[in-house]
Amino acid sequence: MLEMHFTISFFSLQQSMRQIYSFRALCLLIWICLPCLRGSAIEPAKVNFTCNIHTINKVEGQTECEPLDDVFGGYCIIEKLKHKNERVGHMGLVLLRDPHSGNIWTYDLLCPTCAAKGAKRSIYMQTKIVARCDSCNSEWQNVHMGSAGQTNQEGKFWLICYDTELKGDSLYVSNMFNKKR
């Protein structure tokens, strides 16, 4: 009788441990796969932007950086001043390609740390994996992989991330759901 009770208790413990590990795995999956849902100090702007992935760097006049269509990772800055009649975020967008997965991530150029203090300052790409704001000295590393959390100071501000979809040569950036393409 004692042996049967021990077997049932052990089985219950194994089942509980599986549930705990499943829950942890689910949390990790959500953390990795849904970075655009993480919090920021500011509300996202309406964004609706389309470009050709092979020509966008030339169109934007950015020939000194690795192009966005480079399989080893690259980026392109979309400045609001050049796109006054388009919806390109608060101050513009930065498009980044992950060299490992090929995913393209899009962030608003507005610095969330400065925005929380009521100032409008733009971030810039220090390298293809590090974004910085010279005004408040905030830094975000590994932005090309979708993890746009602040890596210095308090570490509480995330860059605003927008949905990005690549279809053929066309790149669509939007946060306006239910939009037909």
The CATH number of residue 168's host domain is 2.102.10.10
State what percent of residues in the chain have pLDDT above 70. 71
Q: Are residues 66 and 20 in the same domain?
A: no
pLDDT at 149: 66
Q: Are residues 87 and 152 in the same domain?
A: yes
The answer to whether residues 17 and 9 touch, using CB atoms and an 8 Å cutoff, is no
Q: Is pLDDT at 35 greater than 50 in this prediction?
A: no
Q: Are residues 20 and 60 in the same domain?
A: no
pLDDT, average across residues 8-16? 55
| Domain that includes residue 151, residue range | 38-174
Q: Are residues 122 and 105 in the same domain?
A: yes
In a domain, 55, yes or no: yes
Q: Are residues 82 and 8 in the same domain?
A: no
pTM of the model: 0.71
The answer to whether residues 180 and 167 touch, using CB atoms and an 8 Å cutoff, is no
Pairing mode, strands 170-174 and 161-167: antiparallel
Q: Are residues 45 and 27 in the same domain?
A: no
| Beta bridge partners of residue 107, listed in sequence order | 94, 161
Q: Is pLDDT at 21 greater than 90 in this prediction?
A: no
Indicate the number of domains in the chain.
2
| Rounded distance between C-alpha atoms, residue 77 and residue 91, angstroms | 11
| Rounded distance between C-alpha atoms, residue 84 and residue 23, angstroms | 45
In a domain, 112, yes or no: yes
- Between 106 and 127, the higher pLDDT residue: 106
In a domain, 50, yes or no: yes
- Between 18 and 88, the higher pLDDT residue: 88
Q: Count the Cβ atoms, other than its own, within 10 Å of residue 77.
A: 20
Q: Are residues 149 and 68 in the same domain?
A: yes
Q: Are residues 17 and 60 in the same domain?
A: no
| Rounded distance between C-alpha atoms, residue 172 and residue 166, angstroms | 6
Helix (H), strand (E) at residue 13: helix 2-33
Which of 179, 132, 171, 140 lies closest to 157 in space, CA to CA?
140
Q: Are residues 12 and 77 in the same domain?
A: no
- Between 181 and 175, the higher pLDDT residue: 175
